[in-house]
């Protein structure tokens, strides 16, 4: 497999990866809409900190300490959306871009001859590289060569100002300007707090300048840079090049004495009344605050350790026993853990394998079915307890001292004791128990494991010595020293350093991808207009583009040169590496065992390469009898052995007592001593002795050699004519046997029925016994195929794992919006299957492959099945010839008859279709047989591949039962590792730790809103995660909302209709008031009888008018409803028109811009042509003159 796939490119790929990390971080999927909006709440951060670092915080503490400063807010429902997550991810990058002495200092600005804006782009990049050369990696230098970070800041600022005010020129930073800017981005809710707006203005001011409240800061590049980074200057960029963990980067390590002194002083110190306004004297150097002090229990104790005391309560770290943390790999040295794992595999194979069937431990003595079930249940329960309990004790003791957090000599002592108990003492103490045994087995088996355990013990003790040496130095000192970091830092710290580089690489790439979408060409000049719409249009275009990602060679190359961690940030769990080691070990054992079995089978045939000549004189023989009846055998002396193939097997008296007694009873005595010696009796399975002498008349007569007792000079006394297996007599062959009286007499005593049966059996066996070369061919081909399968399994796991992770990150395997992704978040305990599945899966795959391949080869060459094979081959050749003809015919007809899905000549296509369907009706049976064979072969090779699903989606589910759930379990392990170790999540974890460490002095709300504005301008497509609160709103409509402006045409129509409705309502209300006045006037003239009739008539008319007014009012209400419905339709029409014509307008703008550029180019060409014409005219004039 190539393990490459088509993935998104550029900013689209970055957006997919951000959605993926949101799906990983979120811990609750009960609310589907809340899950797909990619928001991170206090619950998610709380469980992440506990799982990754063992830090315990309440949700209230998370909201008050972490979310409040990163833009999420302090309310119960507040959370971080993806825009705020990206703003947090940019903190280290912005901090490195904005160097203290280059951008933030007013003195340096005065001494400089040019401002950032005035310096040419090439000179800007050179200045930045000169400032940060010591702290940059090669990837950062390449990034700076492509784009200047300061240019991005300048561009974003000008784009913001242009989008908000219409001009890109710097303007005085006032509250009105801030509100105008955020109103332009439809984010006015962020700046409703007057105090917060004042803090935002203060963040943009130069802290080194003389404070003057009346002066207004100018929102230029430097002010914008200060606003982005003033609250995060406690972040130290040098930690990215240091081999230390994120925990050490945030909290550091102290020597024991200083920790105790500081801890004791802190315990007795009360917090100030107003911790938020408390000021220290650190001057931004990252020193410990009074209300955030590290305690010494973190490095020595087993109890909960308080790592920070904040105004919102203490923050503690739990003891997590990280030496056996296989989910997060929180141990110090991966090498030491792999040695521990390999030691346990050897310990299991040598001492615990008897636990599969406990010796001497039974639950019943009967042979009934119920008794067998009970015994089986007992055996497997014992196996569970045996492996679990011993495994826990083994890993805790032998792995002790490998903790990434603890710094204790006691742990190292426990680790050394574990090595002695589990790797050294079992060879010295012989124990026999019902569940395990340390007694010697004997032979090469004991020697092999003694050597393995000695090697493992020595290497593990070396690791413990390094652990002890590490305690003499601080983690910061070790991580900063290149030599010590390679020896003492441990693989975990070195890998985290590589993941810091991966975070730098990926964030820089995200910035570059976003920046490139704001430019229609490669020109990166000054911004003349807002580019949000252009960026969104380019994002839509790039979303449809793909590129080939990954590959087998690429994965292995990246794994070997370190780019897999340093650039892509893919964490390969130690569980996977241990599984590969188990695969290698089990593959070697499987191949050795299978080779031994094949050697035994081939050894049953007589080896043609060896020579053995056995001869004797029939005159030195006699025919033993019992009660006058011949036994059908001969006993001879002076038998001569010559050659290297005459070795027999020493007889086992216990298992072959009859043969041994028969030999000792009838073997002739030694001619020299006339004594019969039965101390060493050898028997032969397939050796024949040849009679020699005058009696044979030069014709061959052979007798099967049965047993012998050797004397001096390679002579022996033997029994002949008896087959050892089954004790079958009369085994004499050859025409010369009739010339030897002794042999002829023995043969004549053979019963006729026995002779016929023996002849039939010998003839039948010869016909059905395969030849030796057939077995050798099966063995060679099957073992070579088995080795190929073993190598393939070992070589494919890492590329397959890398490919799967990259598919998740790129969205090729959906995550955030895929309902099936939820299944990966359940039953995480299943990932403990992985090592066992990889080991035994490899064993099973090799075994079944050898069996299937050997069976196939044997079927092809076996003399009994060979006629069937010939017939099948003939049929296959015939079918193949017709299929080749059909393929040529279909190719020709396909070009003639079809254009994609449409037929050019329906009549011809119909005739061909009917003919092919009738033909395939008879041919499909062969196809099904071929399909069955291919599926069996593929399934055999995929038994050991739990990294890739063999069954298609939905195929392996029958009645809710998954037939093959192990690939899903393997993916669970990958997702679990990425949820803790993804470079983005690792950087977020460091930001969380710095917030806990420094409290409100790091990451303020004002600074976070400035960075959020930076994200709004540079990556406007991410704003869909802030607008689309409803999960059902299509993404296209959200993107349209981000670019839609006011449409005055439809707004004017709606406004006119509303004014007309209001005028009509006012007229009716006035008329009703007049009628009410007339009623009162008529009621006041009650004494005028003459006006009674008129009054009644007036009242009747008034009532009629009131009724008419009510009807008119109802009509107006109906008109209002119809107008509201029409307004809704107009709004929909507006959205539709905007949706239909937005991209067309943008495209026309782009074409117009290109046309203008083309016009300028044509004008230049015209000027050059006119100049050339002038020159030609001048030249002609000169020639004429």
At 743, is the pLDDT very low, low, confident or very high (cuts 50, 70, 90)? confident
DSSP 400: T
Residue 274 has a pLDDT of 39
Tell me whether residue 496 is exposed, middle or buried, using C-beta atoms within 10 angstroms of its C-beta: 0 to 12, 13 to 18, 19 or more.
Answer: buried
Given a contact cutoff of 8 angstroms between Cβ atoms, the answer to whether 81 and 37 are in contact is: yes
Residue 1007 has a pLDDT of 92
At 623-633, the pLDDT tens digits run 888 887 888 88
Residue 1151 has a pLDDT of 64
C-alpha closest to that of 548 among 812, 321, 773: 812
More confident of the two residues 437 and 23:
23
In the predicted structure, residue 1102 carries a pLDDT above the cut 90: no
Percentage with pLDDT > 90 across the chain: 19
Given a contact cutoff of 8 angstroms between Cβ atoms, the answer to whether 85 and 988 are in contact is: yes
In the predicted structure, residue 1080 carries a pLDDT above the cut 90: no
* CA-to-CA separations, 844 to 583, 590, 594, 795, in angstroms, rounded: 11, 9, 12, 17
In the predicted structure, residue 101 carries a pLDDT above the cut 50: no
Residue 122: CA count within 13 A, CB half-sphere: 0
In the predicted structure, residue 176 carries a pLDDT above the cut 60: yes
More confident of the two residues 201 and 1038:
201
Given a contact cutoff of 8 angstroms between Cβ atoms, the answer to whether 624 and 635 are in contact is: yes
Alpha-carbon distance of 467 to 787, in angstroms, equals 39
At 288, is the pLDDT very low, low, confident or very high (cuts 50, 70, 90)? very low
- Lowest mean per-residue pLDDT among 31-35, 420-424, 1050-1054: 1050-1054
In the predicted structure, residue 955 carries a pLDDT above the cut 70: yes
Residue 630 has a pLDDT of 82
Alpha-carbon distance of 786 to 780, in angstroms, equals 10
Mean model confidence pLDDT for the chain:
77
What DSSP assignment string belongs to 248-317?
A: HHHH----HHHHHHHHHHHHTPPPPS-GGG---S-TTS-PPBTTB---THHHH-SS-EEEEEETTEEEEE
Residue 1122 has a pLDDT of 66
What DSSP assignment string belongs to 618-656?
A: GGGEE--EETTEE-S-EEEEEEEEESSS---EE--TTTT
Give SS3 for 409: helix
Residue 118 has a pLDDT of 45
Provide the sign of the torsion angle of the four alpha carbons 498, 503, 506, 508, taken in this order: negative
At 698-716, the pLDDT tens digits run 677 888 888 888 877 667 8
Residue 381 has a pLDDT of 83
At 282, is the pLDDT very low, low, confident or very high (cuts 50, 70, 90)? very low
Structure tokens at 868: 């069937």
Residue 426: CA count within 13 A, CB half-sphere: 25
Burial pattern 423-437, b for ≥16 Cβ within 10 A else e, equals beebeeeeeeeebbb
Percentage with pLDDT > 70 across the chain: 72
Q: Are strands 79-80 and 625-626 parallel, antiparallel or unpaired?
A: unpaired
Query: Which of the listed ranges 242-246, 697-701, 1058-1062 does the model predict with the highest average pLDDT?
Result: 242-246
In the predicted structure, residue 73 carries a pLDDT above the cut 50: yes
Separation of CA 615 from chain center: 71
What DSSP assignment string belongs to 706-764?
A: EEEEE-STTEEEEEES-BTTTTB---EESGGGGG-HHHHHHHHTS-HHHHHHHHHHHHH
In the predicted structure, residue 1105 carries a pLDDT above the cut 80: no
Alpha-carbon distance of 128 to 764, in angstroms, equals 91
Residue 451 has a pLDDT of 87
In the predicted structure, residue 30 carries a pLDDT above the cut 90: no
Q: Are strands 613-616 and 688-691 parallel, antiparallel or unpaired?
A: parallel
Alpha-carbon distance of 1150 to 959, in angstroms, equals 56
Residue 133 has a pLDDT of 47
Average confidence (pLDDT) over 179-196: 83
Alpha-carbon distance of 240 to 507, in angstroms, equals 13
HEC string of 286-297 equals CCCECCECCCCH
At 117-132, the pLDDT tens digits run 344 444 444 444 444 4
Residue 801 has a pLDDT of 93
At 787-833, the pLDDT tens digits run 999 999 999 999 999 999 999 999 999 988 888 888 888 888 888 88
At 474-513, the pLDDT tens digits run 888 998 888 888 888 888 999 999 999 999 999 999 999 9
Alpha-carbon distance of 1110 to 1123, in angstroms, equals 19
C-alpha closest to that of 295 among 316, 322, 312: 316
In the predicted structure, residue 106 carries a pLDDT above the cut 50: no
In the predicted structure, residue 1048 carries a pLDDT above the cut 50: no
In the predicted structure, residue 531 carries a pLDDT above the cut 80: yes
Structure tokens at 483: 């030599």
Give SS3 for 568: coil
Q: Are strands 4-8 and 79-80 parallel, antiparallel or unpaired?
A: unpaired
Residue 1011 has a pLDDT of 92
C-alpha closest to that of 977 among 569, 498, 583: 569
Average confidence (pLDDT) over 255-270: 36
What pairs with residue 437 in β-bridges? 432
C-alpha closest to that of 586 among 784, 838, 808: 838
More confident of the two residues 577 and 1046:
577
At 564-576, the pLDDT tens digits run 999 899 999 888 9
More confident of the two residues 1161 and 202:
202
Q: What are the backbone dihedrals phi and psi of residue 209, each rounded to the nearest 5 degrees, phi first?
A: -80, 160
Given a contact cutoff of 8 angstroms between Cβ atoms, the answer to whether 688 and 643 are in contact is: no
Structure tokens at 610: 């060896």
DSSP 853: H
In the predicted structure, residue 300 carries a pLDDT above the cut 80: no
Residue 503 has a pLDDT of 93
Residue 778 has a pLDDT of 94
At 610, is the pLDDT very low, low, confident or very high (cuts 50, 70, 90)? low
Average confidence (pLDDT) over 91-99: 82
Residue 1139 has a pLDDT of 55
Given a contact cutoff of 8 angstroms between Cβ atoms, the answer to whether 861 and 801 are in contact is: no
At 68, is the pLDDT very low, low, confident or very high (cuts 50, 70, 90)? confident
More confident of the two residues 345 and 40:
40
In the predicted structure, residue 1120 carries a pLDDT above the cut 70: no
Alpha-carbon distance of 317 to 43, in angstroms, equals 17
At 404-428, the pLDDT tens digits run 888 888 889 999 999 999 888 887 7
DSSP 770: P
What DSSP assignment string belongs to 183-202?
A: HHTT-GGGG--HHHHHHHHH
Residue 646: CA count within 13 A, CB half-sphere: 19
Given a contact cutoff of 8 angstroms between Cβ atoms, the answer to whether 723 and 685 are in contact is: no
Alpha-carbon distance of 128 to 131, in angstroms, equals 5
- Lowest mean per-residue pLDDT among 271-275, 285-289, 1030-1034: 285-289
Helix or strand run (H / E) with residue 792: helix 772-810
């Amino acid at each position: 497999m190539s393990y490459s796939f088509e993935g998104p490119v550029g900013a689209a790929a970055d957006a997919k990866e951000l959605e993926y990390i949101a799906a990983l971080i979120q811990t609750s999927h009960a609310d589907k809409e809340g899950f797909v909006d990619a928001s991170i709440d206090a619950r998610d951060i709380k469980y992440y900190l506990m799982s990754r670092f063992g830090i315990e915080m309440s949700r209230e503490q998370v909201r008050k300490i972490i979310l409040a400063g990163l833009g999420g807010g302090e309310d119960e429902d507040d959370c971080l959306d993806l825009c705020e997550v990206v703003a947090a991810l940019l903190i280290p990058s912005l901090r490195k871009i904005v160097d203290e002495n280059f951008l933030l200092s007013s003195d340096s600005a005065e001494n400089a001859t040019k401002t950032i804006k005035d310096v040419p782009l090439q000179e800007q990049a050179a200045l930045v590289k000169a400032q940060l050369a010591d702290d940059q990696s090669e990837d950062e230098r390449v990034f700076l060569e492509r784009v200047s970070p300061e240019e991005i800041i300048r561009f974003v600022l000008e784009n913001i100002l242009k989008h908000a005010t219409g001009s890109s020129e710097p303007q005085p930073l006032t509250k009105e300007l801030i509100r105008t800017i955020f109103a332009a981005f439809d984010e006015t809710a962020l700046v409703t707090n007057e105090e917060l707006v004042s803090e935002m203005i203060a963040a943009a001011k130069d802290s080194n300048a003389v404070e003057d409240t009346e002066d207004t800061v100018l929102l230029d590049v430097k002010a914008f840079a200060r606003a982005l980074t003033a609250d995060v200057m406690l972040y130290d960029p040098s930690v990215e090049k240091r081999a230390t963990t994120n925990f050490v980067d945030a909290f550091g390590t102290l020597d024991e004495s200083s920790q105790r002194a500081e801890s004791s002083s802190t315990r007795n110190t009360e917090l100030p009344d107003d911790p938020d306004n408390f000021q220290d004297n650190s001057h931004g150097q990252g020193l410990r605050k009074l209300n955030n002090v590290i305690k010494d229990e973190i490095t020595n104790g087993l109890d909960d350790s308080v790592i920070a005391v904040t105004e919102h309560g203490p923050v503690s770290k739990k003891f997590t026993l990280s030496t056996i943390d296989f989910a997060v790999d929180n141990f110090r040295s991966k090498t030491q853990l792999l040695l521990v794992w390999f030691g346990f595999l050897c310990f299991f194979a040598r001492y615990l394998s008897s636990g599969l069937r406990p010796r001497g431990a039974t639950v019943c003595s009967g042979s009934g079915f119920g008794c067998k079930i009970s015994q089986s249940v007992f055996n497997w329960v014992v196996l569970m307890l045996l492996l679990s309990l011993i495994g826990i004790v083994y890993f805790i003791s032998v792995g002790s001292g490998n903790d990434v957090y603890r710094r204790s000599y006691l742990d190292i002592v426990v680790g050394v004791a574990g090595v002695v108990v589990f790797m050294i003492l079992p060879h010295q103490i012989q124990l026999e128990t019902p569940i395990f045994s340390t007694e010697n087995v004997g032979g090469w088996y004991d020697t092999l494991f003694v050597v393995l355990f000695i090697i493992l013990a020595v290497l593990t003790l070396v690791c413990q010595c390094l652990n002890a040496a590490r305690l003499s130095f601080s983690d910061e000192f070790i991580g900063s020293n290149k030599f010590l970091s390679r020896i003492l830092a441990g693989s975990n710290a070195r890998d985290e350093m590589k993941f810091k580089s991966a975070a730098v690489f990926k964030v820089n790439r995200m910035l570059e991808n976003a920046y490139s979408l704001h430019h229609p060409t490669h020109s990166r000049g000054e911004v003349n207009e807002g580019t949000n719409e252009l960026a969104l249009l380019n994002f839509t275009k790039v979303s449809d583009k793909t590129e080939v990602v990954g590959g087998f060679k690429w994965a292995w190359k990246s794994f070997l040169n370190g780019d897999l961690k340093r650039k892509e940030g893919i964490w390969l769990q130690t569980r996977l590496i241990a599984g590969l080691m188990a695969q290698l070990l089990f593959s070697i054992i499987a191949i050795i065992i299978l080779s031994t079995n094949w050697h035994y089978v081939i050894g049953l045939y007589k080896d043609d390469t060896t020579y053995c000549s056995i001869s004797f004189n029939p005159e030195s023989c006699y025919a033993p009898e019992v009660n006058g009846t011949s036994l059908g055998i001969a006993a001879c002396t002076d038998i001569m052995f010559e050659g290297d193939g005459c070795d027999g097997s020493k007889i086992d008296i216990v298992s072959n007592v009859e043969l041994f007694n028969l030999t000792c009873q009838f073997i002739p005595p030694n001619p020299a001593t006339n004594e019969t010696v039965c101390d060493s009796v050898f028997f032969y399975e397939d050796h024949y002795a040849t009679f020699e002498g005058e009696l044979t008349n030069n014709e061959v007569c052979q007798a099967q050699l049965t047993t012998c007792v050797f004397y001096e000079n390679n002579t022996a006394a033997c029994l002949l004519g008896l087959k050892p297996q089954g004790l079958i007599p009369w085994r004499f062959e050859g025409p010369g046997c009739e010339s030897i009286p002794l042999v002829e007499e023995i043969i004549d005593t053979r019963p006729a029925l026995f002779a016929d049966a023996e002849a039939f059996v010998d003839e039948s066996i010869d016909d059905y016994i395969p030849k030796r070369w057939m077995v050798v061919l099966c063995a060679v081909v099957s073992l070579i195929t088995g080795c190929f399968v073993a190598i393939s399994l070992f070589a494919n796991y890492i590329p397959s794992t890398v490919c799967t992770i990259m598919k998740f990150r790129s969205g090729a395997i959906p995550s955030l919006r895929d309902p099936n992704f939820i299944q990966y978040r359940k039953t995480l305990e299943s990932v403990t299957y992985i090592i066992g599945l990889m080991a035994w899966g490899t064993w099973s795959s090799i075994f079944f492959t050898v069996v299937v391949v050997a069976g196939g080869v044997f079927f092809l060459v076996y003399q009994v099945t060979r006629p069937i094979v010939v017939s099948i081959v003939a049929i296959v050749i015939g079918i193949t010839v017709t299929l080749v003809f059909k393929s040529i015919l279909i190719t020709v007809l396909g070009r003639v008859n079809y254009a994609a899905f449409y037929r050019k000549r329906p009549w011809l296509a119909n005739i061909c279709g009917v003919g092919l369907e009738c033909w395939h009706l008879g041919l499909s049976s062969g196809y099904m047989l071929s399909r069955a064979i291919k599926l069996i072969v593929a399934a055999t090779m995929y038994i050991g591949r739990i990294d890739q699903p063999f069954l298609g989606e939905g195929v392996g589910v029958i009645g809710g039962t998954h037939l093959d759930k192990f690939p899903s379990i393997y993916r669970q392990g990958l997702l679990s590792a990425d949820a803790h170790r993804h470079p983005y999540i690792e950087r977020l974890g460091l930001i969380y730790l710095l917030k806990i460490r420094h409290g409100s002095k790091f990451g303020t709300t004002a600074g976070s809103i400035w960075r959020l504005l930076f994200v709004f301008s540079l990556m406007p497509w991410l704003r869909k995660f802030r607008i689309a609160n409803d999960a059902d709103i299509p993404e296209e409509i959200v993107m349209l909302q981000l670019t839609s402006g006011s449409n005055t045409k439809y707004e004017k129509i709606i406004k006119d209709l509303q004014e007309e409705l209001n005028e009509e309502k006012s007229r009716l209300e006035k008329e009703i008031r007049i009628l009410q006045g007339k009623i009162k006037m008529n009621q006041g003239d009650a004494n005028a009888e003459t006006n009674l009739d008129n009054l009644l008539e007036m009242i009747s008319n008034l009532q009629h008018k009131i009724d008419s007014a009510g009807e008119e009012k109802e009509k107006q209400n109906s008109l209002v409803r119809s107008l509201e419905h029409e307004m809704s339709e107009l709004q929909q029409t507006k959205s539709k028109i905007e949706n239909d014509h937005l991209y067309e307008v943008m495209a026309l703008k782009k074409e117009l811009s290109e046309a203008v550029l083309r016009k300028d180019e044509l004008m230049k060409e015209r000027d050059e042509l006119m100049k050339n014409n002038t020159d030609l005219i001048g030249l002609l004039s000169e020639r004429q003159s």
